Amino acid sequence: MLELLTGAGLALAAGLNAWIPLVLLGALDRFTGLVELPSAWAWLSNEWVLLILVVLLVAEVIADKIPSFDHVNDVIQTVVRPTAGGFAFGSGTTATTVAVTDPAAFFASNQWVPIAIGAALALAVHLLKAVARPVVNAATFGLGAPLVSAAEDASSVALSFAAILVPLLVIAGIAGIVFVAIRVIRRRRRRRAEPDAPDPSPGSEPVA
């Protein structure tokens, strides 16, 4: 169960920011004793891989805070974030962490299963983010984009650390994402249900 929560938390974090959970997994494995990646995922802690991941992380953090360009970034990330989510879930469920000491494996016989689950979870969060962002930009004339993006990055970091250190906290993160999803869906439905204002046309004015 803890393995599943660890993988789910990392995948959900990747849906908000593709690179944060991968950077944290690799860095914690290389520089601390909090994570021990299995041999199949040891490449994440390679110094050159970490450097590339950090560069990609900085690029996404900047791009996601620029109104209009954040939409272009979301289109590109439709492929990137689910892929990262698959990697994060796969590596997280098979890694030894301070919370998971025997990852061994309910997924061992089907190596593709955790990657597919992680990709699906990350894609779901990414789509929610991509749908919500234009609404925020329109409501705030673009001024809210940097603030919302920063909150998403912070949530990604929090989810990643929770998944690694205290997997049970991921349940709260999942509940928060579901709550946001319900609000976004309801708001979109209300906007679609609002009747369009009638356009006045010449000759439509009442005759005195």
Q: What percent of the chain lies above the pLDDT cut of 90?
A: 45
At residue 103, does pLDDT exceed 70? no
Give the closest residue to 126 by CA, choosing from 167, 84, 77, 163: 77
> When comparing pLDDT for 103 and 166, which is higher?
166
Looking at the chain, the whole-number percentage of residues with pLDDT higher than 70 is: 86
* pLDDT recorded at residue 109: 55
Residue type, 197: A
Choose among 49, 30, 48, 57: nearest CA to 153.
Answer: 57
Here the tokens at position 198 are: 């009638």
What the block records as the tokens of 5 is 């929560």
Checking if the pLDDT of 195 tops 50, the result is: yes
Residue-wise DSSP of 161-196 = HHHHH-GGGHHHHHHHHHHHHHHHHHHHHHHHHSPP
Strand-pairing partners, residue 35, are: 97
Residue 119 corresponds to which amino acid? A
Predicted local confidence at residue 196, as pLDDT:
54
What is the number of other CB atoms lying within 10 angstroms of the CB of residue 102? 8
Angle between helices 69-94 and 145-165 (to 10 degrees): 0
Give pTM, 2 decimals: 0.82
pLDDT, position 207: 47
Strand partners, 36: 96
| Eight-class DSSP state of 208 | -
By the 8 A CB rule, do 70 and 63 touch?
yes
Domain boundaries, the chain: 2-190
pLDDT bin (cut points 50, 70, 90) of residue 124 is very high
Neighbours of 40 (CB within 10 A): 10
pLDDT, tens only, 28-82: 999 998 888 888 889 999 999 999 999 999 999 999 999 888 889 999 999 999 9
Alpha-carbon gap, residue 115 to 133, rounded angstroms: 27
Query: How far apart are alpha carbons 35 and 37 in whole angstroms?
Result: 6
Rounded Cα–Cα distance for residues 140 and 128 (Å) = 18
CA distance 171 to 8: 9
